[in-house]
Amino acid sequence: MHQYHDLLYLQTSTDPHSQTMIQRPDKKEFSTQALPHVLKSILKLYLRDIKLQRETAKRLLNINKRVPLYVCDQLVLLPLKPQRATIQYYVNAINIHHIEHHGTHTKIHFVNQHTLVIDEPYALIYRKWKESIALIHFIKLHCFI
């Protein structure tokens, strides 16, 4: 059941033969499913409903955009790009070690020395990361698990 707790990030693939790239600490996998279907599959594996998780996070965090998805205590998927962006990223907020400003980009360092550079403002990504971590505490506090 816990086959995604080590996930670093999901990305819309630029490879014409696959639609989603799944980055883990030790390997990169490719799925023929589109990113929304991969997200639904992951949540279903953990007996979660994507709509319910989104609604719960929106209510607890009082946000409407780039809403993190709580899957389990080891997996909170944080969208880094707007919903309509061509290339989408969902990072596991739990596996982020630190984030740093990198010119006009943001560099995300994961716990196992992997990095991801994304063209989004540092302040936005940092705030969304902290919201994702807070979501776990709010869910535990309100017993939504």
Q: Which has the closest alpha carbon to 90: 26, 16, 2, 31? A: 31
Contact between residue 85 and residue 108 where contact means Cβ atoms under 8 Å apart: no
Beta-carbon neighbour count of residue 84 at 10 Å? Answer: 6
Domain residue limits, the chain: 9-141
Using only C-alpha atoms, what is the Rg of the chain?
14
pLDDT at 97 over 90: yes
Q: Which amino acid makes up residue 36?
A: P
Task: Say if pTM beats, i.e. exceeds, 0.85.
Answer: yes
Report the distance separating Cα 145 and Cα 129, nearest Å: 20
- What is the model's pLDDT at position 2? 59
101-110 average pLDDT score: 93
pLDDT tens digit sequence for 29-65: 999 999 999 999 999 999 999 999 999 999 999 999 9
Give the tokens for residue 25. 């600490």
Report the distance separating Cα 64 and Cα 114, nearest Å: 29
Please, what's the b/e burial string for 17-47 (b: 16 or more CB within 10 A of its CB; e: otherwise)?
A: eebbbbbbeeeeeebeeebeebbbebbeebe
- pLDDT level of residue 3 (50, 70, 90 thresholds): confident
